[in-house]
Homo-oligomer: A and B are copies of this chain.
Amino acid sequence: MIRTIVWGENHHEQTNRVVSDLYPNGMHGCIADALNADPAIEATTATLQEPEHGLSEARLAETDVLTWWGHARHGDVDDAVVERVAAHVWSGMGLICLHSAHFSKIFKRLMGTPCNLSWREAGERERLWVTSRNHPIVAGLPDHFELEHEEMYGEPFGIPEPMETVMIGWFQGGEVFRSGVTYKKGAGSVFYFQPGHETYPTYHDANIQTVLRNGVKWAYNSAPRVLDVTSAPNRAVEDALEPITARGPKLHEDGQEGFT
């Protein structure tokens, strides 16, 4: 079982009638239901409003994959939780950032770039094209599929060059977007997936749900977490793998900690 947390900002579901009608159990509830339809996945939810946003150290330690959707309240996410999630990703937890999570603290933290884009909320048609055929994330999908209504996200998208560009979106109004991109950050696999504006029924779409399930399986790393993932150990001269003798001037006394 791939233990998955579906994180939701859970803001517009509480404040906007269009969104609450589309997602009466929250977007996170809808996504979790879609994931739980796969017997290999066990998805639960967490939201901004919970203590520690539902992402305590203990819970993350028992989580294989985290999905993240946020939009209007990125700034309310505690920096300490962001660093905690980042450390779990580096150690091997998978992370899937959805739609407006391009501007989430955790995605920007991991990318090291602005992650900006152009946008337009016009309910226009998007067509997603698969650029990496039979990639595990698009298993079972045709070479292209459509969303009759999506928010336009347009290039240039301020991300680092992906490990793989898996999908590219075509928009009716004339833009394109790298809609599905993958990264490795330490032992953790990261997938960004563009569709999912909250005023459209995107997460009810069968193809989108397939991508979400595939994405969780792709991001899953079955190995135990890397321990002390940020440590920079000193290796003593006398323990060198090949026998050597210390020589030359030294800055550090023996056994001294390095600078961090």
Contact = CB atoms under 8 A, between A and B. Distances in A.
Copies of this chain held together in the complex: 4
B223 A140 contact: yes
Given A127-B241, A175-B129, A241-B174, A165 B163 contact: no
A72 interface: yes
Nearest to A116: B232
Nearest to A224: B134
Given A131-B157, A173-B240, A174-B242, A90 B114 contact: yes
Q: What bracket does the count of chain A residues touching chain B fall in?
A: 35 or more
Contacts of A116: 229-232
Given A118-B234, A160-B160, A235-B118, A248 B149 contact: yes
A127 B174 contact: yes
Given A90-B113, A116-B231, A122-B245, 18 more contacts: A73-B259, A100-B259, A103-B232, A103-B259, A114-B186, A114-B230, A117-B232, A122-B237, A127-B174, A129-B155, A130-B155, A132-B156, A134-B223, A134-B225, A139-B222, A140-B223, A199-B250, A200-B249
16 contacts: A113-B185, A114-B229, A118-B235, A119-B232, A120-B234, A121-B246, A124-B247, A132-B161, A133-B156, A144-B155, A144-B241, A155-B168, A160-B184, A172-B244, A199-B251, A200-B248
